[in-house]
Amino acid sequence: MKKNNVLLWTILTGIVVTIFLIFGPLKKDVWDINASKLEDLTDSLSDPMVINDFSKWTPFEWDTLYSFSPYTTKETIYDIVGYKWDNISETVNDNMNQIVFVKDGKVVCYLYGYPENTKSSYNFGEYEGEYITVNSQQKLSFDTEIGADGIRYFNSINH
């Protein structure tokens, strides 16, 4: 009888753990997973380099990249991207990154935060309005360097 109880509890525990992993707070969204992949790739770079085609360099596919100027509201971002997703935040400082990558109308990567925390800073040039948009077919290029602060700086060459 004890073997049956142990087996039953083992099966029930396995079911609960599986449900928790599938639907619970440990499950990451695709935009978080891809942001982590991009941060890991950025962290692995050591020398100054030129990235000739950013869409081919990123570890995920995207159609459109949006970079938003500081203090752009969530509502404006949702309207421009055309997609509403969880966990978006508004920038509260001029130096923060706010970059959204979209593939087939869905957000596939969301970079947000201070360069000190993400270890990367993206400069797309001057904003005309609240955002810059780049199509993956446009061959976005960056000159990169690591600053004395340990941050990888991506400076747009052709945008």
Instruction: For residue range 28-46, list pLDDT tens digits in order.
Output: 788 889 988 988 888 787 7
Neighbours of 110 (CB within 10 A): 24
CA–CA distances in Å: residue 107 to residues 41, 132, 139: 19, 16, 20
Sign of torsion over alpha carbons 57, 63, 69, 70: negative
pLDDT tens across 78-111, in order?
A: 999 988 877 788 888 888 999 999 999 999 999 9
Q: What angle do CA 130, 135, 139 make, to 5 degrees?
A: 115
Q: Give residue limits of the domains in the chain.
A: 29-156
Q: What's residue 26's pLDDT?
A: 58
Neighbours of 9 (CB within 10 A): 10
Query: What average pLDDT is seen over the chain?
Result: 85
